[in-house]
Amino acid sequence: MQTITEKILARASGNSKVSPGQLIEARIDIVMGHDVTLPPAIAMLERHGLDRVFDPERIVITPDHFQPAKDIASAALHKRLDQWARRHKIRYYYPIGRAGVCHALLPEQGHIRPGEVIVGGDSHTCTYGALAAFATGIGSTELAAVIATGRLWFKVPASMKIELVGHLPEGVYSKDVILEVIRQIGTDGARYMAMEFTGPALAQMSMEARMTITNMAIEAGAKSGIIGFDEVTRAYLQGRLKGRQDYVVFESDPDAQYASHITVDCSKLEPMVALPHLPSNGRPISACAGLQIDQAYIGSCTNGRIEDLRIAAGILKGHQVSIRTLIVPATPAVWKQAADEGLLDVFYDAGCVIAAPTCGACLGGFMGVLAEGERCVSTTNRNFVGRMGHPTSEVYLASPATAAASAIEGRLADPRRYL
């Protein structure tokens, strides 16, 4: 009577069974660090005489939040990562030139395996749950502890079952699905729970689409998001895994206990937009179309993968954007593939700005910061006050299709008219 999450945590803690609320110490399989949260962790370790790593092949590092460096301070962060990675012979360090948005880079480069426990110094580490793993974000203090010891304590989360039924209509994507889920349950509706996504609608979603869903589990307050293993997972992993090729597949028992259960009929959805200033403030496009905007942003760990760029290019081809529009491929491999497929030509011809992989604009750091009173339709995951710039600016969360259609019209627009 266990869920997939409970089985993974039982294995990691050496128990035959665990229960929600139980405190465990788990062995960590993969640790992710980037240029914002890892440097403080390194400083803590050095300050306490613990400048060591538990396994240089189980730590994955990439600068992404402020790369390429936007100022002297961010350059110092990158220098810190460079020196530390060399000193500890970190095998999987992706320096600038190979660096990418962490939550797109790690699955793409084969660091995520089903059945494992992954932690990262970033709240959207829950993305990796799309590959049937337990993945969660941690702070710099926990990051320091796990780098030194390879272990971390957890309270076993209760699980929430989200059953996705029906078929996605044309113009509706996984981003619209997760915005609807969060609209229904709110930003604390899954607080410290494992959001387990199931149902026949998942079968028509690619692994990239599924990562968009688990990426935003944290926006409902969840500890993690997870999707069970199937042939889509197997195909994605084939020939991709770094190092070990083996993995363990866990499945929820038919009589597993869930704290709550909701069902979403995807066939009834239309494109969704989350209005300021919460991801739960979702509205169908029919209820908000026409609102003027100043910027469109297509990228991030939520929607900066090749599938997302293909969707956006399909809308933009043959059109001109009427507002500034930023296209940010999530990794160098995505950038290269988009170039090879001619997608960057489409974006260039449409009048878009095409950037190197970076998280900069998503967190209001650089490469797309909003001025006072400006509005941005964004494929990112958060639209809090001041998230992308000035405190009076506004962020509207949407799919790449909706963002692209809105870029053409200069106002929130229904992408279905371009399909």
Looking at the structure, tell me whether residues 27 and 74 fall in a common domain: yes
Q: How many structural domains compose the chain?
A: 2
Give the end of a domain, one of 264, 286, 319: 264
> Cβ neighbours of residue 231 under 8 Å, at least 6 residues apart?
none
Q: Is 164 helix (H, G, I), strand (E, B) or coil?
A: strand
Q: E strands, 214-294, where?
A: 224-227, 260-265, 272-274, 282-284
Give the end of a domain, one of 264, 289, 324: 264
CATH at residue 98 = 3.30.499.10
Q: What is the pLDDT of residue 307?
A: 97
Tell me the C-alpha distance between 55 and 130, whole Å: 25
Give the residue ranges of the chain where pLDDT is below 50. Answer: none
Burial of 89 (0-12, 13-18, 19+ CB in 10 A): exposed
Give the end of a domain, one of 242, 264, 286: 264
Q: What is the pLDDT of residue 242?
A: 86
Tell me the C-alpha distance between 167 and 64, whole Å: 35
Looking at the structure, tell me whether residues 240 and 174 fall in a common domain: yes
Looking at the structure, tell me whether residues 111 and 83 fall in a common domain: yes
Domain that holds residue 125: 4-264
Helix %, strand %, coil % for the chain, to 5?
35, 20, 45
Looking at the structure, tell me whether residues 245 and 299 fall in a common domain: no
Looking at the structure, tell me whether residues 209 and 80 fall in a common domain: yes
Q: What is the pLDDT of residue 39?
A: 94
Tell me the C-alpha distance between 354 and 367, whole Å: 10
Looking at the structure, tell me whether residues 230 and 284 fall in a common domain: no
> Cβ neighbours of residue 246 under 8 Å, at least 6 residues apart?
none
Looking at the structure, tell me whether residues 248 and 290 fall in a common domain: no
Q: Are 188 and 221 in contact (CB under 8 A)?
A: yes
Q: What is the pLDDT of residue 243?
A: 79
Q: How far is CA 365 from the centre of its chain?
A: 18
Looking at the structure, tell me whether residues 73 and 10 fall in a common domain: yes
Q: In what order do the strands lie in the sheet with 158-165?
A: 224-227, 193-198, 158-165, 260-265
How many helices, marked H, and strands, marked E, lie in the chain? Answer: 13, 18
Looking at the structure, tell me whether residues 140 and 210 fall in a common domain: yes
pTM higher than 0.85, yes or no? yes
Looking at the structure, tell me whether residues 299 and 349 fall in a common domain: yes
Element (H, E) at 235: helix 231-237
First CA to last CA distance, the chain: 45
Looking at the structure, tell me whether residues 180 and 67 fall in a common domain: yes
Looking at the structure, tell me whether residues 287 and 377 fall in a common domain: yes
